[in-house]
Chains A and B, each alone.
With several copies, the nearest count.
Chain A
Amino acid sequence: MDTSLVLQNLLTPPVLFFFLGVLAVLLGSDLEIPAPLPKLFSLYLLLAIGFKGGLELQHSGISGPVLPTIAAAVAMSLLVPLYSFLVLRLKLDSFNAAAIAGTYGSISAVTFITAESFLETQHLHHDGFMVAALALMESPAIIVGLLLVKLAAPQKRPRQEAMRWGAVLHEALLNGSVYLLVGSLLIGFLSAANSPSSVEKMLPFTDKLFYGALSFFLLDMGIVAAQRVRDLKEAGSFLIGFSILMPLFNAGVGALLARGLGLDPGNALLFVVLCASASYIAVPAAMRMTVPEANPSFYISTALGLTFPFNIIVGIPLYMGLVNALIPSAG
């Protein structure tokens, strides 16, 4: 493990503000970022990352590794929940196992963004189509999670109609955060083709502010993640182990796939981070609706209380080391 990479990641404003938030909770400070301010930053980050991805996708075009990479990403978002479910069923009932499995098949946009920022400090190139992969990995995992419930859960559920496929697909595809991300991607794509001068005028908002807004949001994420640590005790050592080992395993699979796809180191890191991260935005909201039998504190505290901090703090530089070992830099 390349400790200099870890240190380089650690001493940047986004990660330090994340720590500041965690520490606020541990020390008992009353620092608080009241609702709906975190929502403002969350909406902004989704809009900006989508828009920037759309611009880059327009410039790079849809060729070369684009489609295979996106296909591989979607495949991972279908596969990860399946094998996660099998592991989780060792200790948990079908409802909880399916909800957590879906969470780990999906992605964390903030982890992705932090990895992008890390790449920029490393002066490593990455492509806009990775944002398309990000956008397309959210929904399939939700659907697989719910499919697992339908197949594996006790036959008679009181409100079976809540599981109508229409409702599930609706939740998976039109969930606010998925919708905003995909919509902004399309808007970036269309604007870049038709109105370069208007794109220019968007950049101070979507580009220049981005890093600072990410740092501010991570301050809140640090607070929220640390508040979840208490729940982890309730979740027990099995889930704690799962929250670290499953991302590591997924990262390994992701790195091999990235190598097979011929991705360059920057895109490879992002691909690995997509595989290794777990959703705490779109998926919990979907699961609460469609698998109310599952305990939210399980799927939120694993994804947000442990996997997210792990990825932000040591995961990203660790995966960079892995990528560097597997994929020789072109330079």
Chain B
Amino acid sequence: MKRLDLFISERELPQIVKAIEAAGAPGYSVMKHVTGKGPHGSVSESMDFSGLGANAHVIVFCEPEVLEGLREGLKPLLSYFGGMAYVSEAEPL
């Protein structure tokens, strides 16, 4: 089984979730209020009051086949809006 870790802006969350569902992932988990730094600069929570928000961390556990679909659906979003994605191995308990 595969584990996908996504870090994106909270603002793009609805579109990312749509893409995950479209790829047929069996589920996903979302943590908001994530801060950090990446190639596009620092992200803090200080603009939260404005609706701009910080980052979200999205985790998807899925079969390798589904990962292919996720890659296809997510890559364009990540390259347009920014954000990072990493894959690792995992097994159900």
Contact = CB atoms under 8 A, between A and B. Distances in A.
Q: How large is the interface on B (under 10, 10 to 19, 20 to 34, 35 or more residues)?
A: 20 to 34
A280 interface: yes
B27 interface: no
B86 interface: no
Interface string B14-25: 000000000000
Contact of A285 (B51, B54, B76, B82): B51
A158 B80 contact: yes
A288 B9 contact: yes
B51 A227 contact: no
Contact of A30 (B45, B51, B79, B82): B51
B91 to A, nearest CB: 24
Interface string B53-82: 010000000000000000000001101111
Contact of B46 (A158, A162, A227): A227
Contacts of B11: 285, 288-289
Given A227-B44, A285-B11, A297-B41, A158 B76 contact: yes
B52 interface: yes
B81 A292 contact: yes
A35 B51 contact: no
Contacts of A41: 49
Interface in A171-204: 175-177
A284 B47 contact: yes
Given A288-B9, A292-B82, A300 B47 contact: yes
Interface in B1-38: 9, 11-12, 33
Contact of A220 (B33, B49, B51, B76): B49
A324 interface: no
A39 B49 contact: yes
Contacts of B51: 30, 32, 175-177, 281-282, 285
Interface in A129-160: 158-159
Contacts of A220: 49
A162 B19 CA distance: 14
Q: For B11, B12, B50, B79, which residue has the most chain A Cβ atoms within 10 angstroms?
A: B50
Given A30-B51, A285-B11, A288-B52, A224 B46 contact: yes
A297 B12 CA distance: 17
A223 B80 contact: no
Contacts of B50: 42, 177, 280-282, 284-285
Nearest to B43: A296
Contacts of A280: 50
A280 B49 CA distance: 10
A177 B50 CA distance: 8
Contact of B33 (A35, A38, A284, A297): A35
A36 interface: yes
Nearest to A39: B49
A329 B31 CA distance: 55
Q: For A35, A42, A223, A285, which residue has the most chain B Cβ atoms within 10 angstroms?
A: A35
A284 B81 contact: no
Contacts of A224: 46-47
Nearest to A38: B49
A285 B47 CA distance: 9
A159 B45 CA distance: 27
Nearest to B50: A281
Interface string A272-283: 000000001110
A281 B49 contact: yes
A282 B49 CA distance: 10
B49 A223 contact: no
26 contacts: A32-B51, A35-B33, A35-B45, A35-B48, A35-B54, A36-B49, A38-B48, A41-B49, A158-B79, A158-B80, A159-B76, A159-B77, A159-B80, A176-B51, A177-B50, A177-B51, A223-B46, A224-B46, A227-B44, A227-B46, A282-B51, A284-B50, A284-B52, A285-B50, A288-B52, A292-B81
